[in-house]
Amino acid sequence: MTGETTGGRLVPARLGPSDVLRTGMAGLRTRPARVILSALGIAIGIATMIAVLGVSASSREELLRRLDRLGTNLLTVSPGRTLFGEQAKLPEEALRMVRRIGPVRTASATGVVDTTIRRTNHIPEAVTGGIAVQAATSGLLATLEGRVTAGTWLNAATETRPAVVLGARAAERLGVTRTGVRVWMGERWFTVVGILGPMPLAPEIERSALVGFPAAADYLGFDGHPTTIYERSAEESVEAVRAVLPRTVNPENPEEVTVSRPSDALAARAAAASAFTGLLLGLGAVALLVGGVGVANTMVISVLERRREIGLRRSLGATRGQVRLQFLTESLLLSALGGLAGTVLGGLATIAYALARGWPPVVPPWAFAGAAGAALVIGTIAGLYPAMRAARLPPTAALSAT
């Protein structure tokens, strides 16, 4: 420092980033309780949003993983409607035709039987419990990659006998928990030989009672027409198979055949964000807004209380811009603190919830970026007005305040 009284240019010194940070921290260090309280609002808002996004991402991840396990190479073929609007039928030989398609690895069929299943013959016929009776080919379990939780699946012997395998939901509704019990189907008793596990790709099987094709024809008057054909091919040829299926199944009326891919429904569910998620996000946004107002309020009070400090800094050579920057930094630090705490809390909440439900905990990376961005924007907006006020204080007024 020279004491020269020359008329040289007067240029204020620039503060380095660490000095700016230092000034921004000056006000926070001495008032820790207030810092925590004013950062809390932002922390709650950010935590809510991170948790909501994390939980929905975790559930989506769980769906996708399930989809991965189930495979997306299953197609179902079912009859559509005729030109005259009547329910069409699949030809009896449809299953054989499907099996002839090159890339098809496995195909099976079910056919709806027009009868009911009841626990005993004393229960009126109208009480079906929503259970469909269906004929099933013996390869169905393999095609659907399902399993029995009790007993066995239909085999060459049992498919000709009055034996029935219950889907998981059907068994539950009938109150059947073990094999060997008898149920009333059509006009006679059938023996339950197996109970199936869950079938995520074929929920209609879960609600069915399945008997062999020969048995259905012999005992229940089944006409032999399949109503659904399940087919799996190599993953890469699914589209090709899909294209030829209608013509193969019903060469005369291919338009009467409907082909669908059950995994599409699961994938759509994974892609869709629930309305509930939107609502919770909105709540988080409100909490965030309230938090921002809290920070702004704290900053206004801080400026009022620190008029003397502001005057002192001005007397030491701080420019208006440097005072403004100091309070803006302070506000940003406050909201960054809240954002950080909220991110940690939200992350922990996601992990706890996901683990409790057996999901893989996932928080999308953009949610973290969003949290940082939100904290930054809120800190800036909340700090702007108080910072301007601080900068506009005349140095003398600031110093004479007691």
Partner 1 sequence: MNRPPNELTRTGGPYVVELREVTRTYGGVRALRGVDLLVERGELVAVAGPSGSGKSTMLHLIGTLDRPTTGTVRIAGHDVPGLSDRELSALRARHLGFVFQQFHLAPGVAALDNVADGLLYTGVPPRARREKAAAALERVGLGHRLGHRPHQLSGGEQQRVAVARAVAGDPPLLLADEPTGNLDSAAGTEVLAVLRDLHASGTTILVITHDAEIAAWCPRQVRVRDGRIAGDDGPGTGRRPPGPVPATTKGAAR
Interface ranges with partner 1 (CB under 8 A): 1, 3-7, 10-15, 18-19, 22-23, 26, 29-30, 308-309, 311-322, 394-396, 399-400, 402
DSSP character for 272? P
For residue 259, give the nearest of 245, 276, 240 by alpha carbon: 245
Least distance in Å: CB of 400 to partner 1? 8
**Tokens 């439900």 sit on residue:** 357
Residue 326 or 331: the one with the smaller Cβ distance to partner 1 is 326
Residue 26 or 340: the one with the smaller Cβ distance to partner 1 is 26
Token output for 61: 């991840």
Residue 206 or 330: the one with the smaller Cβ distance to partner 1 is 330
Least distance in Å: CB of 301 to partner 1? 17
Least distance in Å: CB of 284 to partner 1? 36
What angle is formed at CA 133 by the lines to CA 129 and CA 138, rounded to 5 degrees?
A: 140
Residue 15 or 88: the one with the smaller Cβ distance to partner 1 is 15
Q: Please, how many CA atoms are within 13 Å of residue 339, restricted to the half-sphere of its CB? A: 21
Count Cβ neighbours within 10 Å for each residue of 108-135 and write b for 16 or more, e otherwise: bbbbbbebbbbbeeeeeeeeebebbbbb
Least distance in Å: CB of 56 to partner 1? 45
Query: What distance in Å separates the CA atoms of residue 308 and residue 397, rounded to the nearest whole number?
Result: 8
Least distance in Å: CB of 304 to partner 1? 17
Residue 25 or 281: the one with the smaller Cβ distance to partner 1 is 25
Residue 11 or 126: the one with the smaller Cβ distance to partner 1 is 11
Q: Cite the beta strand spans of 167-315 per DSSP E.
A: 182-185, 188-196, 208-212, 228-233, 257-260
Query: What distance in Å separates the CA atoms of residue 19 and residue 88, rounded to the nearest whole number?
Result: 80
Any idea how long the chain is?
A: 402
Residue 96 or 308: the one with the smaller Cβ distance to partner 1 is 308
Least distance in Å: CB of 390 to partner 1? 14
Do residues 110 and 205 touch, judged by C-beta distance below 8 A? yes
Least distance in Å: CB of 21 to partner 1? 12
- Tell me whether strands 188-196 and 163-166 are parallel, antiparallel or unpaired: parallel
Phi-psi region of 284 (alpha: psi -120 to 50; beta: other; left: phi over 0): alpha
Is the CA virtual torsion 137, 139, 142, 144 positive or negative?
Answer: negative
Residue 325 or 362: the one with the smaller Cβ distance to partner 1 is 325
Least distance in Å: CB of 310 to partner 1? 11
